[in-house]
Structure 1
Amino acid sequence: MSLAKSRDVADRERLLIRLVDLCDGNSQELRSPRVQALLSQVFFDLVFQAEFDIRLRLADKIASADWAPSALINILSFDDIEIARPIIARSPILKDPDLIRILVEATLEHQVEVARRPEIGPQVVEAILKAGKPEVMTALVENETARVSRDHLFDLVNKAQEVASLHSPLTQHPGLNDELAGYLYAWVGETLRKSLAGRFDLDTPALDRALSLSVSEAKSGKAQGGRLQTMAPTETDEERSDRQLVAKLDMSGQLRPGFLVKALKDRRLSLFVAGLATLGRFEARDVRKALDSGRPEILALACAAVGVDRTVFPSLLAQVRNLNHGLPGGGTDGDRRAMNAFVKVNPSAAASAFRRAIAEI
């Protein structure tokens, strides 16, 4: 009580630390709503008046505590980065929605700490990729404990085309495989290409020839597309508008497979392309290649990857052909292959098969 009445900074620090020590010894008894409410009030009153050094020491003391009031932990996670860092890194109180809120509302330094947090889950990884901030994505790739799916890793490899800081950590990432290493090979420098060739079974002569051809075509303005293309295709105003609309729907969690059907019913092929590319984390140019090919089974694989039902696909394919000058072709045999693409194929396998098929066109 004498410490509580004192206005001396050192006394208030002693009081906070003694309270933390007391709680650490009785953590099982502190989880009832009544006690949590009392703890929140006590700590808020003390922290509100606390100096930086006191808040810093408090954050370090309670970062790993499972009894700490959620509201207090969330406030400290938005404090100055030195105070927030141990909280973001270690607090078991912070859940995925709390971490995503930090990614949306806090400073770039706080976001980087979220990306470095051990064992972050797929929802947090997805939020990092949607924001697309180079520093945060680089911290994510360097965090080998993060639960990064193969599709997430493909997205990161694709972003490496424009974000140089991703190159080195991606070449060392444990989730990289031969397919992804082949794509990454196009974006990195000579030293990292040698590193990739040493780790993976790559057809480096073929990749080098494709790179050389791509550079020559880019310089002459005759780039024909594909994964090794170095010049982006021209985007029309309609395509840009459709892409932006789809991005907003995706960010708000409202983008669903049914959106693709509606886009075709509205006779908006560009919107369909943007929606399918975003849902599947594909390149829009790859979706267009599938639409313009003579192999409707490739489009079927993309649709299966994003959850389009097999019974819906025949109608969807007919609408695509109606809007795209009869393409993708293939006739009756092509339609049969397309329907077979849905048989016993899970979304992840369908996405991988789509990317392999596109690479062969």
Structure 2
Amino acid sequence: MTAAPPPDHVSELEPLLALARSRSFEDRRRLIEAVSALCDQQTPGRPVHPALGQIFLALAGEAEREIRRALADCLAAADWAPPALINMLALDEIEIARPVIAASPLLGDADLLRILIEASLDHQIEVARRPGLGGAVADAVIDRGDPAVMIALAGNRSAEISGESLRRLVEHSRRIAGLRAPLVRHPRLTETLAREMLDWIGQALRQAIGERFDIDPDALAGEVDRAVEKVHSGWSAAPIANGRPDAAEQDEMERRLVVKLQSAGQLRAGFLVRAVSEKRLGLFEHALAALGGFPLSAVRGCLRADSARPLYLACAAAGVDRAAFADLLAGVRRLTGGLPHGEPRDWADPLTPETAAAAFRRMAAPLADAGVAAGGV
């Protein structure tokens, strides 16, 4: 038979619940003070008494935001708090959930995985930042593939990230620029993985790799030159063809990334410039098709055209500024062996995105045929 709760806990229950139901400023202040006092009175390492647990659960269910936030701040590091309450707070709005996700010793891997599945992107980022994050949860973050969450994980030096998981993050850094700096500085990055990253990182990070792994600057420059040569080597005989064995898989990854960015409202014209600067032609094609609402085959066809006008119209429809197009065209040609040929006749035309899109669609059918003939879809 369960012993009756001590009278002092029972007597505290009703006044606290009455304060929780009140909406007056003074009662909210008194309630926060009472909750803080209860937390201070609890002995660490001892399970909370059922009556006190009921008080906390009732407060979380009935009180306003500032009370729940006070509870979260008080209980974030407590090992005696009711687990049900901790899980409730961890799924609350992010300002309330943040301290609990970051510090609560009562959140196990199963609880953190649930947050990854059920909660917002901000909650997922907090999970990835959690000190001492377990390997199973870190792997789940990488499996889900959200760029912002993986960037947070890469910056978490105390997370349990296996060698294979780190390799997967390095591979993701090909398309996610935000991963590169934290990975270059990650304590578990090996020289082998660092050398792989030379293919797609900027000069500052190359220098950081050279200093960290004591790589001779001349040797490092040689590796960078060979990486650039490797990127271009597939364009000599058939400029557009991609003969890599994993081309279909890469194309699907790029398509999914563009879909995810667009669904999140994060796909912008500037992404096209970035894709070209990072030598990701397939990513550029998928992004241009998505931004303009064009068939992918038509976009690929315009890269093979005898005139640069179709590409100019497609980029204008996608929101690329006219002043930026010359550099963009030059970057595309470096990736395609010089295609498309010619120069647009209407550089100075005051085209709206709608006008440019309509003009591009009028020539879409023959462009799509060219794209399909060359391997587009």
- TM-score range (shorter-chain normalised) is 0.5 to 0.7
Give matches, 1:294-305, under 5 Å: none
Q: Distance in 1 between matches of 2:32 and 2:250?
A: 61
Give matches, 1:157-168, under 5 Å: 157-168=170-181
Query: How big is the shift at 1:28?
Result: 5.5
Q: List 4+ stretches of structure 1 deviating above 3 A.
A: 1-6, 221-226, 234-237
Equivalent AA in structure 1 for residue 248 of structure 2: T
Question: Is 2:248 the partner of 1:234?
Answer: yes
Identity of aligned residues (%): 40
Give matches, 1:154-303, under 5 Å: 154-202=167-215, 203-219=219-235, 220-221=239-240, 225=244, 233-234=247-248
Give matches, 1:121-136, under 5 Å: 121-136=134-149
Matched residue count:
231
Question: Could you tell me which of 65, 69, 92 is aligned with 1:52?
Answer: 65
Question: Is 2:99 the partner of 1:86?
Answer: yes
Q: Distance in 2 between matches of 1:84 and 1:190?
A: 39
Question: Could you tell me which of 16, 26, 30 is aligned with 1:14?
Answer: 30
Q: Residue 47 of structure 2 aligns with which residue?
A: 31
Paired residues of 1:16 and 1:46 also in contact (CA < 8 A): no
Gaps of 5+ in 2: 1-13, 253-377
Query: How big is the shift at 1:224?
Result: 5.3
Equivalent AA in structure 2 for residue 43 of structure 1: F
Gaps of 5+ in 1: 227-231, 241-361
Question: Normalising to structure 2: TM-score of the pair?
Answer: 0.56
Question: Normalising to structure 1: TM-score of the pair?
Answer: 0.58
Alpha-carbon spacing, 1:224–1:207, altered in 2? closer, same or farther (3 Å):
farther
- 1:114-139 superposed Cα distances (whole Å, 9 cap, x missing partner): 11111101011011010011100101
Paired residues of 2:94 and 2:122 also in contact (CA < 8 A): yes
Highest Rg: 1 or 2? 2
Alpha-carbon spacing, 1:217–1:123, altered in 2? closer, same or farther (3 Å):
same
Paired residues of 2:16 and 2:55 also in contact (CA < 8 A): no
Paired residues of 2:59 and 2:68 also in contact (CA < 8 A): no
Query: How big is the shift at 1:4?
Result: 4.2
Alpha-carbon spacing, 1:57–1:26, altered in 2? closer, same or farther (3 Å):
closer
Paired residues of 1:3 and 1:11 also in contact (CA < 8 A): no
Q: Distance in 2 between matches of 1:29 and 1:161?
A: 46
Query: How big is the shift at 1:225?
Result: 4.0
Say what the alpha-carbon RMSD is for the aligned residues. 2.7
Equivalent AA in structure 1 for residue 27 of structure 2: D
Paired residues of 1:154 and 1:180 also in contact (CA < 8 A): yes
Equivalent AA in structure 1 for residue 227 of structure 2: L
Equivalent AA in structure 1 for residue 83 of structure 2: S
